[in-house]
Amino acid sequence: MPNATYIALIPLLPLAAFILLGIFGRKHFKNSAGIIGTFLLLVSTALALYTAYGYFFDYGKVNGVYQKLIPLQYNWLQFSPGLSIDIGILLDPISVMMLVVVTFISLMVHIYSLAYMKGEERFPTYYAFLGLFTFSMLGLVVSSNIFQMYIFWELVGVSSFLLIGYYYDRPSAVAACKKAFIVTRFADLGFLIGILVLSFYSGTLDFNTLIQRLTSPESSELKTAVAASFLGVSALTWGVVLVFIGGAGKSAMLPLHIWLPDAMEGPTPVSALIHAATMVVAGVFLVARLFPVFSMSAPALEIVSYVGISSALFAAIIACTQTDIKRVLAYSTMSQIGFMMFALGVSGSGGENGLGFTASMFHLFTHAMFKALLFLGAGAVIHFIHSNEMKDMGGLRKYMPITHITFLIACLAIAGVPPFAGFFSKEEILLAAYQHNSFIYWIALITSGLTAFYMFRLYFNIFWNKEHEPQGEHHHGEGGFAMMMPLLLLAVGAAAAGFIPFGHFVSSDGAALESEFHFQFSIAPVALGLMGIFTAMWLYKTKNNKPDKIAVSLNGFYKAAYHKFYFDELYQLITKKIIFNLIGRPAAWIDKNVVDGFVNATGSTTQTISEKIKGFQSGKVQQYAIYFLAGVIALAVLFIYVWK
């Protein structure tokens, strides 16, 4: 068994950075905050790598199958005898893989930010928030309990909120962070109810027990969960679909994706860390974590795969039209996550059937590398140009050679050109899709062609196209060692990560999965990818008017895609018009006028009545005496004749 202490330190060190820098940073660590945060994370990364080494090559495997180990568990809150939130650490291939990815990417971003964020007024706060995010994300991936995952899920959401709103004095950043939080929160509602459903039928919140109870065919829990139905759908399906809604929100799947492009308002390294490599794949991770339960419900898997593929295609189309480079990358992230999602959807559990699962995790891994690289590269460009818009760029290859080369590697990787990382993982995904659902396969194929096209559109627009005319002095060049080192390291990852025999480590049942390489199968995707690249080259390598012509000829469609198919407007309509005007305003009005009106009416009625009857109080003694006499006589009559 592994030593629990140092594994616990992996998430706790970033937490320490958060507390230290969050409370004392402004006063005491104004300049050293970055170094402190980075150092703590470096230790954390080392520990994560050590853990991964130990798990994959030493104690993790028993009889050729990777075990689910729980080196640490602490009873945090006991709801009822069966249900409790236990904060713990669960080690299995995917969580260990995620530990490495999260710490590594986070470390890269920490180092990169040393230069990128230098001189910011809230520099310590920035590192504090990065620490909080890293802590939450690590806590999320090692969760041993579904509620623990929900806890860290929310924490991840809030740290994303804080980081998007880092430039809090920009109204657009404020709007974006609120939007991100509320949209994901809405999705979390599904997650929460899903947890309630699953925990009710399985009688536990613990992942291992829950999965075991809801998947073994002879368990009574599974039988009741399948038998119980609501609106004609079994409780099990409801549970996992609701959980999936939560995952879809975090992972920006259609139609809950609207927050992701806006989230680019945050500092670019943050986009690289949170909105590209780690947090947004939490939804994929969630589905993967509960994958055995998902695989018990065919409708749920179908939903996962169709949501995934439609998001992939949809985002790819939009990405072709955007002009803000970070937004292009944001849509490409959404598209790639769509790939991971549908790969899970078309997968089965166990053995050869689990190819989609492995492929999805593999793509998650490689995507983290090249997408972080793309974002950090874009960050370097933005740092240089001080603009996010493509029209301000062009011809930068001469000014930023390192950025150029690394960016190109990342683009080749994401386009699926061999032998870069993306090729291998995407190949596996397509293979899994081909084996299970040919419709999804064809759409995925088209999407991967589009991916190559829009990535190289981006690439050519930044580094080629028109010549760059330096305005004034670019005194800081490419950003120095702190910014270039992460780019180079990630470029190595993006170039070489594909050669890892991933199926040996991560598979749906823990046993090694041999992935064979089918040469003839990969011809179509690669050819499509190259076609995309050459189209982009033809259109964008030099400045010309071909793109505009095409845009004009595709007028309606182009416009719709440029406006992101009017999703934002639709949501605006729903929130502003319907929720605010049709629910919020009436509720406030009813409270003020009906409910409170009733209270006030009671008061004013009392007052009116007393106003009326105070005439009796004339101050004339003899009148009182008459009332008195009348009263006595009335009572006497009553007593004598009525109540004998």
Partner 1 sequence: MNLTLLILLPLLTAITILLLRNTAQVKWVALTGSTLQLILAFYLLFVFNNERSAGNTAQMLFELQYNWFPAWHISFHLGVDGISIAMILLTAFVVVAGILVSWNITKMTKEYYFLLILLSMGAYGFFVSLDLFILFFFLEIAVIPKYLLIGIWGSGKKEYAANKLALMLMGGSALVLVGLLGLYFSTPERSFDLLALAHFNIPIETQMICFPLLFVGFGVFGGLFPFHTWVPDGHSSAPTAGSMFLAGISMKLGAYGCLRVATYIMPEGAKEYANFIIILSTIAILYGAFATMMQKDLKYINAYSSVSHCGFVFLGIGMLTKTAMTGAVLQMVSHGLMTALFFAVIGMIYERSHTRQVNEMGGLLKVMPFIVSVLFIVGLCSLGLPGLSGFVAEMTIFVGSWQNADTFHRVATIIACMSIVVTAVYILRAIGQTAMGPLKAGFENLTDATWNEKLAAILLVAGILAIGLAPSWLNNLISPATDIITQKIFPMAIGVK
Partner 2 sequence: MMEPGLYHLLFISGALFFIGVFGFFTRRNLVTMLMSIELILNSVNLNFIAFNKYLWPDKMDGLFFAIFIIAIAAAEAAVAIAIIINLYRSHGSIDVESAEELKN
Instruction: Work out which of 1, 231, 599, 621 binds partner 2, going by CB under 8 A.
Output: 621
CB of 570 to partner 1, least distance (A): 17
Give the contact letters, 67-106, x = binds to partner 1 (CB under 8 A), - = no.
Answer: --------xxxxxxx-x-----------------------
Give the contact letters, 109-148, x = binds to partner 1 (CB under 8 A), - = no.
Answer: --------------------------------------x-
Instruction: Work out which of 439, 517, 538, 580 binds partner 1, going by CB under 8 A.
Output: 580
Instruction: Work out which of 574, 601, 609, 626 binds partner 2, going by CB under 8 A.
Output: 626
The tokens describing 566, both together, are 């009017």
CB of 521 to partner 1, least distance (A): 45
CB of 199 to partner 1, least distance (A): 7
Q: Name the one residue in this structure whose structure tokens are 């330096």.
A: 470
For residues 400 and 403, give the distance between their C-alpha atoms in angstroms, rounded to a whole number. Answer: 5
CA 521 to chain centre: 32
Q: Compute how many other C-beta atoms are within 10 angstroms of the C-beta atom of residue 277.
A: 31
Contacted by 171, from partner 2, partner 1, none: CB < 5 to 8 Å by type = partner 1
CB of 300 to partner 1, least distance (A): 19
Q: Compute how many other C-beta atoms are within 10 angstroms of the C-beta atom of residue 123.
A: 23
Which secondary structure element, helix H or strand E, spans residue 90, and what is its range? strand 84-91
Give the contact letters, 22-61, x = binds to partner 2 (CB under 8 A), - = no.
Answer: ----------------------------------------
**DSSP string of 8-36?**
HHHHHHHHHHHHHHHHHHHHH-TTTHHHH
Region of 95-103, 374-382, 407-415, 591-599 interacting with partner 1 (CB under 8 A): 591-599
The tokens describing 145, both together, are 């309990």
Beta bridge mates, 177: none
Name which of 545 and 610 has its Cβ closer to partner 2.
Answer: 610
Name the nearest CA neighbour of 69 among 45, 88, 44. 88
Peptide bond into 255 cis (omega under 30): yes
- In the DSSP assignment, the letter for residue 134 is H
Instruction: Work out which of 92, 154, 427, 428 binds partner 1, going by CB under 8 A.
Output: 154
Name which of 182 and 298 has its Cβ closer to partner 1.
Answer: 182
Peptide bond into 419 cis (omega under 30): yes
- In the DSSP assignment, the letter for residue 639 is I
Region 597-626 residues binding partner 1, contact defined as CB under 8 A: 598-599, 603
Measured at the CA of 187, the angle between CA 185 and CA 188, to 5 degrees, comes to: 60
For residues 348 and 433, give the distance between their C-alpha atoms in angstroms, rounded to a whole number. Answer: 11
Name which of 5 and 618 has its Cβ closer to partner 2.
Answer: 618
629 binds partner 2 (CB under 8 A): yes
The tokens describing 413, both together, are 């990787």
Instruction: Work out which of 27, 475, 612, 620 binds partner 2, going by CB under 8 A.
Output: 620
Give the count of residues interacting with partner 1 (CB under 8 A). Answer: 51
Instruction: Give the start-end residues of each E strand in 92-159.
Output: none
Instruction: Work out which of 595, 609, 633, 638 binds partner 1, going by CB under 8 A.
Output: 595
Instruction: Work out which of 43, 46, 155, 530 binds partner 1, going by CB under 8 A.
Output: 155
Region of 6-14, 320-328, 431-439, 612-620 interacting with partner 2 (CB under 8 A): 612-620
Contacted by 151, from partner 1, partner 2, none: CB < 5 to 8 Å by type = partner 1
The tokens describing 128, both together, are 């504090």
In this structure, are residues 462 and 394 in contact, taking their beta carbons and an 8 Å threshold?
yes
Question: In 3-state terms, what secondary structure has residue 84?
Answer: strand
Region of 152-160, 386-394, 414-422, 436-444 interacting with partner 1 (CB under 8 A): 152-160
In this structure, are residues 141 and 104 in contact, taking their beta carbons and an 8 Å threshold?
no
For residues 220 and 197, give the distance between their C-alpha atoms in angstroms, rounded to a whole number. Answer: 16
CB of 608 to partner 2, least distance (A): 15
609 binds partner 2 (CB under 8 A): no
For residues 437 and 431, give the distance between their C-alpha atoms in angstroms, rounded to a whole number. Answer: 10
Give the contact letters, 178-217, x = binds to partner 1 (CB under 8 A), - = no.
Answer: x--xx--xx-xx--xx--xx-xx--x--------------
Name which of 1 and 621 has its Cβ closer to partner 2.
Answer: 621
CA atoms within 13 A on the CB side of 497: 28
Name the nearest CA neighbour of 250 among 272, 280, 270. 280
614 binds partner 2 (CB under 8 A): yes
Question: In 3-state terms, what secondary structure has residue 145?
Answer: strand
Instruction: Work out which of 578, 618, 631, 638 binds partner 2, going by CB under 8 A.
Output: 618
The tokens describing 152, both together, are 């860290």
Contacted by 544, from partner 2, partner 1, none: CB < 5 to 8 Å by type = none
Contacted by 158, from partner 1, partner 2, none: CB < 5 to 8 Å by type = partner 1
Name the nearest CA neighbour of 411 among 420, 399, 398. 420
Q: Compute how many other C-beta atoms are within 10 angstroms of the C-beta atom of residue 94.
A: 25
CA torsion angle for 175, 176, 179, 182 (degrees, to 10)? -100
Instruction: Work out which of 622, 640, 641, 643 binds partner 2, going by CB under 8 A.
Output: 622
Contacted by 629, from partner 2, partner 1, none: CB < 5 to 8 Å by type = partner 2
405: exposed, middle or buried (C-beta count within 10 Å: 0-12, 13-18, 19+)? middle
Region of 177-185, 365-373, 380-388, 395-403 interacting with partner 1 (CB under 8 A): 177-185
For residues 23 and 467, give the distance between their C-alpha atoms in angstroms, rounded to a whole number. Answer: 47
Region of 89-97, 138-146, 155-163, 613-621 interacting with partner 2 (CB under 8 A): 613-621
**Residues binding partner 1 (CB under 8 A):** 26, 75-81, 83, 147, 150-152, 154-155, 158, 165, 168-169, 171, 173-175, 177-178, 181-182, 185-186, 188-189, 192-193, 196-197, 199-200, 203, 580, 583-585, 587-588, 590-591, 595-596, 598-599, 603
**Residues binding partner 2 (CB under 8 A):** 614-615, 617-622, 625-626, 629
